Structure 1
Amino acid sequence: MSASFMSLILLLVLFGSLAIGLWISIALFVTGLVGVVLFSSAPIADVLGTNIWTSSTEWSLAALPLFIWMGEILFRSRMSKDLFTGLAPWMRSVPGGLGHVGILASGIFAAVSGSSAATCATVAKVAVPELKARGYDERLVLGTVAGSATLGLLIPPSIIMIVYGVAAEQSIARLFIAGVLPGLVVIALYMSYVALQSLTGRAKTPPKDPPTTLLQKFQASRRLLPVVLLIAGVVGSIYLGLASPTDSAAVGVVLALAMSWWFGDLTWQSFKEGLIAATLSSSMIAFILAGSAFLTLAMGYSGLPATIAGWITGMQLSTYTFLAVLTVFFIIMGCFLDGISIVVLTTAVLLPAVQAAGIDTIWFGVYLVLVVEMGQLTPPVGLNLFVLQGMTGRDIVFISKAAFPFFAMLILAAAIFTVFPDIVMVLPHMMYGS
C-alpha cells in the first residue's frame, strides 16, 4: 500500500469525522486509531497510552492554563476598563480619534492574556458601547475590535506560540521575543487604515473632543500603571532571565490575583468563574494536543510527512511561491478549524518541507501564527466574529464585512515579513545570537 494512498485514507477519515460533527479532539483520536490499526502492528493500547502520556507531560505546556487563567482574571476586573480611559486622552487629536483606542487596548491586553477570544471579549465589552455612544461608525468600530483582537495570538505571551513551540520543539522564549516587532507592525497597519478612513471621510467620526493638557493626559494614564506592571512582571521576567515562560505564567497569575484583590474586584464568585473558565479552555486545548500527537504518530506510520515534504521539495518552488501556497492553504483551513487545531495538525507535517526550503523555524512560527490569525476573521469558524455577534447582536455577515479590511491588513503584514524577514528575526538574534 503506497504512502499516498494511506495518507488519503487518513485524510478522508479526519475530514469525514469533522463533517459529521465530532469534536476536533475526538476526530483526531479516531483518525489516529485508524492509522495505527491499518499501518502498524503495534499494540493499540500501549501506543495510545504511551503517546498521550508523553505528549501531555511536556513541562512547557504548564504555561497554557496559567496564561489562560490570568486572562480570565483580568477579564473580570476593572483593569480592562482602565485600558480605555487611560488611552483615550492621547488619541483625541489623532485622525480617527478614539477609533484607535480599541487597537491599542487590544495590543496591551494581548500582552497579558495570550488569547484572541479573551482580548476580543474584553475590549468589545468596554470599547464598543463607548464608541457607538460617541457617534463613531459602527462598522469601523466592530472591524477594529475584531481585527485588533487577533493580536492576542501574536504579541507575547501567546498561547498559540506555546503550542507551536512544543509541537516544533522550538524555544518558546525565542518565539515570544520574535513576535514583538511583528505585533507592533500590525498595530501600525491597523491604525494607518483607521486614520485613512477618517481622513477620506469614508468612516463617520464625531467632532473632536475638547483638547486636554499634557498634565491631564498623564493623570489619565495612571490607570494604565497596573497593566503595565503586569506586563513588566510577566514579559520582563522572561527576557531578564529571571524566569522561564512557564514560571512567568505563574508570576502573572499571582500578580493578576493580587491586583484584582487590591481593586476590590476579586470575590469568591469571580475567582470560581475565572478558574472554571480557564479549566474548560485548558482541558479543550490539552485534549486537542493529545489527539494531535496520536494522529502525528499515525501519520508517521503512513509516511505522509515524508510524502508531503518530498512532493513540495520536488516541485522546486521558490521560497516566495512556497509561502504564497501555504498562505492560501492556511486561509482555507482557517475557514473550518480553529487556530490551535491548525497548528497542531500541520506543524509536524509541514516542518520537514519548511526546513528543506531553508526557512528559519522561529520565523516560520511567527508567520504561521500570523496566517492563523486570519482564521479568526473568516466565517464560518471565525471565533472573533462569533464573540462580537454574541456581544452586539449584529449578524455574522455584517461583522464579517466590517472585519474584512483588517483581514487584508494581515495579508499585507505577511507579505512584509516575507520580504523583510529581519523584522521577525532581529530581536531573537540580538538577545540570543544566531
Structure 2
Amino acid sequence: MSAGLLASVLFVVMLVLLAGGVWIAIALGLVGWVAIEFFTAAPAGSLLASTVWDSSWNWALTALPLFIWMGEILFRTRLSQDMFTGLSAWLGWLPGRLVHVNIIGCGIMAAVAGSSAVTCATVGRISLPELKKRGYDESLIIGTLAGSGTLGLLIPPSIMLIVYGVVSQQSISRLFMAGVLPGLLLIALFMGYVMLRAVLDPDKTPVETETLSLKEKLSRSRFLIPVLLLIVAILGSIYGGYATPTEAATVGVIGALILAAFSGSLDRHTLLETLLGATRTSCMITLILVAAAFLTMAMGFTGIPRHLAQWVETLELSPYALIAVLMVFYIILGCFLDGVSMLVLTATVVLPMVKDAGIDLIWFGIFAVIVVEMAQITPPVGFNLFVLQGMSGRDIVQVARASMPFFFLMILGIVIITIFPGIVTFLPQTMMR
C-alpha cells in the first residue's frame, strides 16, 4: 500500500474514533496499534510496552504536574483581586482605561500559572463583574479576557511549551526564553487595539470618577508585590541558570502555597482540591503524550512521515508558504481538538517537514503555540469560550463574536514574528551562549 493511501486509511480510523467519543489518548494509541499490527511486520505489543516505559520517565515531564499544581493553588487565592486593585490605580489614564487591567493582569497571571484556562478564569472572576458594574462595554470585556487569557499558553512557564519541548526534543529553558518577547508583542497588540477602539468609540468607555494621588497609587501597588516576587523567583531562577524548569516549578509551588497561606485561602479542603485538580490534568496530558509517542513510533515504522516530507519537497514550497499552509491547517484542526492534542498529533509529520525546510524548531514552537492560542477562542472547542460563557452567562456565539478581533490580532502577531524572527530567537541566542 502506498504511503498516501495508508495515511488516508489511518486518518479515517482516527476520525471514526474521535467522532465516536473515544478519548484522544486512546484514539492515538489505537491508530498506532492498527498501523503497526496490520501494515508492518513489527511486534505491536512489545513496541507499545517499550514506548510507554521510555516516554513516561522523561525528566522534563516532572515540571508539568508541578506547574499545573501551582496554577491550581493560585486560582484559589486572592491573587486576582489584589492584581486588579494594584493595576487599576495606574491604568485609568489610558484610552480604554480599566479594560487594560484584563490584558496586563492576564499577562502577569500567565507568568505564574502556565495555563490558558486558569489565567482566563482567575482574572475574569474579579474583573468581569467589576468592569460591568462600572459600565464598560461587555463585549470588549469578554473579548480582552478571551484573547489575553490565551497568553497563559505562551508566556513562560507555559505548560504548552513544556509539551512541545518534550515532543520535539528541544530545550524547555530555551523555549521559555523564546516565549517572552512574542508574549509582550501580543500584549502590546491587544492594548493598541483597545486604545484605538476607545478613541474611535469613546461612548464604550465610561468616565472614571476616582482620582488617586501618587501616594495612594504607590500604596495600592503593594498588592502587586507577591505575584511579582513569584515571577522573579520562577523565571529568574531559570534564566539566571540557577535552576532547571523542574526545580523552578518546585520553587513556584512553594511560593504559591505561601501566598495562599498568607491570603487565608489555604485549608485542608482547598489543598486537597488543588492536588486532585492537578492530578487529573497532569494524568490527562501525560496519557496523551505517551499515546502520541507510540503513534510517532508507529508512523516511523510505516514510513509515512518520510514520504510526506518528500512529497512536500516536490511541491517546492518556500518556508513562508509552508508556514502559511501550516497556519491554516492548525486553525482548522483547532476547531475540533484541544491544544495538547493538536501538538502531539501532528508532531510526527509536521516536525520533519519543518526541519527539512530549514525552519528553526524553537521558532516553530512559538509559532505553533500562538496558533494553539487561536484555537482557544475558536468554536466549537475553544476552552476560553466555555470558561467565559459560564462566567458571563452569555451564549457561545456572543462570546465567540467578542473574541474574533483578538483572533485576527494573533494572526498579525504571527505575521510579525515571521517577518522578524529575531523577536523569538533573540533571547535564547543571547542568554544561552
Q: Distance in 2 between matches of 1:261 and 1:20?
A: 45
Q: CA–CA distance in 1 between the matches of 2:387 and 2:104?
A: 19
> Alpha-carbon deviation of 1:368?
0.7
Measured after TM superposition, the shift of residue 393 of structure 1 is: 1.4
RMSD of the alignment, in Å? 1.0
C-alpha contact (below 8 Å) 1:3/1:303 kept by paired residues:
yes
Alignment-derived partner of residue 185 in structure 1: 185
The one-letter amino acid paired with 2:151 is L
Q: How far apart in 2 are the matches of 1:288 and 1:171? A: 20
What is the alpha-carbon distance in structure 1 between the residues aligned to residue 189 and residue 203 of structure 2?
17
Superposed, 1:241-256 pairs within 5 Å as 241-256=241-256
Runs of 4+ deviating beyond 4 Å: none
Q: How much does 1:202 deviate?
A: 6.7
Moved more, 298-307 or 382-391: 298-307
Aligned to 2:72: 72
**Residue aligning to 2:324:** 324
Q: Which amino acid aligns with 2:298?
A: A
Describe how 1:267-346 pairs up with structure 2 within 5 A. Answer: 267-346=267-346
- Counterpart in 2 of 1:151? 151
Does structure 1 conserve the Cα–Cα contact (< 8 Å) formed by 2:299 and 2:348? Answer: no
**Aligned position for 1:140:** 140
Task: Say if 2:230 is the partner of 1:230.
Answer: yes
Residues 1:404 and 2:407 are matched in the alignment: no
SS at match of 1:183: helix
8 Å CA contact 1:93, 1:211 repeated in 2? no
Match of 1:219 in 2: 219
Percent sequence identity is 55
C-alpha displacement of 1:308: 1.9
The two structures have a TM-score, normalised by structure 2, of 0.98
Q: Which residue of the partner structure matches residue 205 of structure 2?
A: 205
Equivalent residue for 2:93? 93
TM-superposed CA distance for 1:40, in Å, is: 2.3
CA contact (8 A) 2:102 2:127 kept: yes
In the alignment, the residues of structure 2 paired with residue 296 and residue 247 of structure 1 have an alpha-carbon distance, to the nearest angstrom, of 29
Distance in structure 2 (CA, Å) of the matches to 1:203 and 1:155: 33
Aligned amino acid, residue 418 of structure 2: T
**1:196 matched residue in structure 2:** 196
Number of residue pairs matched by the alignment:
433
- Comparing 422-431 with 400-409, greater Cα deviation is found at 422-431
Residues 116 and 151 in structure 1, CA contact (< 8 A), matched pair in contact too: yes
**In 2, Cα distance between equivalents of 1:409 and 1:317:** 26
Separation in 2, partners of 1:177, 1:213: 37
**1:52 maps to 2:52:** yes
In structure 2, the partner of 1:355 is: 355
Corresponding residue of 1:17 = 17
Aligned to 2:130: 130
Q: Is the CA contact 1:305–1:348 (under 8 Å) kept in the aligned structure 2?
A: yes
Question: How far did 1:203 drift?
Answer: 6.3
**Preserved contact between residue 86 and residue 221 of structure 2 (Cα < 8 Å):** yes
* Gap regions ≥5 residues in structure 2: none
Letter in structure 2 aligned against 1:302 = T
Cα deviation for residue 430 of structure 1 reads 0.9
Show the counterpart of 2:28.
Answer: 28
Distance of aligned partners of 1:291 and 1:202 in 2 relative to their CA distance in 1, 3 Å threshold = farther
Identify the residue that residue 6 of structure 2 maps to in structure 1: 6
Q: Hey, what's the Cα distance between the residues in 2 that align with 1:298 and 1:159?
A: 26
Bigger shift: residues 178-187 or 3-12: 3-12
Q: Distance in 2 between matches of 1:233 and 1:251?
A: 7
Q: Judge conservation of contact 1:66–1:249 (CA < 8 Å) in 2.
A: yes
Question: What amino acid does structure 2 have at the position aligned with 1:230?
Answer: L
Asked whether 1:175 is paired with 2:175, we answer yes
Does the 8 A contact of 2:103 with 2:144 survive in 1?
A: yes
Q: Is the 8 A contact 2:68 2:115 kept in 1?
A: yes
**1:27 and 1:418 mapped to 2: Cα distance?**
34
Contact 1:156 1:179 in 2 (8 A): yes
Partner Cα separation in structure 2 for residue 90 and residue 251 of structure 1:
30
Moved more, 110-119 or 288-297: 288-297
Supply the distance in 2 between the matched residues of 1:126 and 1:314 (Cα, whole angstroms): 53
CA distance in 1, matches of 2:45, 2:203: 60
Q: Distance in 1 between matches of 2:386 and 2:78?
A: 24
In structure 1, C-alpha distance between the alignment counterparts of 2:348 and 2:248, rounded to whole Å: 27
**How far apart, in 1, do the equivalents of 2:147 and 2:173 lie?**
25
